[in-house]
Each structure stands twice: as structure tokens, then as C-alpha cells.
Amino acid sequence: VKVTYVAHDGTRTELHGDPGDSVMSLAIAQGIDGIVGECGGSMMCATCHCYVEEDWAEATGPRMDGEEDMLESAACEVTERSRLSCQIKLTEAHDGLVVHLPEEQV
Ligand code: FES
């Protein structure tokens, strides 16, 4: 499953994950700077904030229960495209997904 991470400065990094990985865990495993993932994916921080590219909003679905509240403590502006990347679990349907990273996470 191919996922492209677009850093705040526009740098694009393409990674390949497996179904079941989260957008956060894949980024951490491959050393993407723009995602911190302090809580390890249990929706207890907001350091895995990302913006899902518009075309992918449907495939990634709505926010999970509780995600909204946690996003309130995100370091950067929260928009309608904001998600906690640990709550986006990859499936084959996400092949080609593009997420944008905020300027900072803490
Ligand atoms: Fe902490 Fe996603 S890693 S909320």
C-alpha cells in the first residue's frame, strides 16, 4: 500500500506499508520527521496530526470516536481534513493515499 507524506516544506516521501499498519506507525518505522506519535497510537496525544488530501477523504472515512477531542490539543491549525494518523489503518483501498504534515506536532 503506497502512502505519500508531504512535509510542511513540500518534500514528498513515498512509503510502502502493509494493510493493518497505521499512517502513523508506517511513518515512525520509516523515520518520517513530521509525525511524532508520542502515545504510540492510543489516541492520547495529538502528535500524529495530519491532513488527508481531499481526494482521499472518503477512503479514509470519518474521524473515530474521541479523535475530535484529541485534535483540539494539536499544535497546528485543525481543519476539516485533519486526522490523527494513528487512527487511519491502511487497507488495499488506501493505495496511493496522500497526507500532508503540519509544521509542528508539539
Ligand atoms: Fe498519539 Fe495518534 S499517536 S494520538
- 81 contacts 104 by C-beta, under 8 angstroms: no
In a mutational test of the pocket of ligand 1, which residue from 43, 65, 99, 101 has the highest number of ligand atoms less than 8 Å from its CB? 43
pLDDT, tens digit, 9 for 90 and up, residues 59-70:
999 999 999 999
Q: How far is the CA of 99 from the centre of ligand 1 (A)?
A: 15
Rounded to whole angstroms, the Cα distance separating 89 from 94 reads 9
Q: Which domains does the chain have, with CATH numbers?
A: 2-100 (3.10.20.30)
pLDDT-derived band of residue 54, with 50, 70 and 90 as boundaries? very high
* CB-based burial label for 79 (10 Å; 0-12, 13-18, 19+): exposed
Q: Whose CA is nearest to atom 4 of ligand 1?
A: 43
Check residue 95 and give its pLDDT.
98
Q: How far is the CA of 55 from the centre of ligand 1 (A)?
A: 23
Check residue 60 and give its pLDDT.
98
Q: How far is the CA of 37 from the centre of ligand 1 (A)?
A: 5
Q: What was the ipTM of the complex prediction?
A: 0.99
Assigned C-alpha cell, 52 = 488527508
Rounded to whole angstroms, the Cα distance separating 40 from 44 reads 9
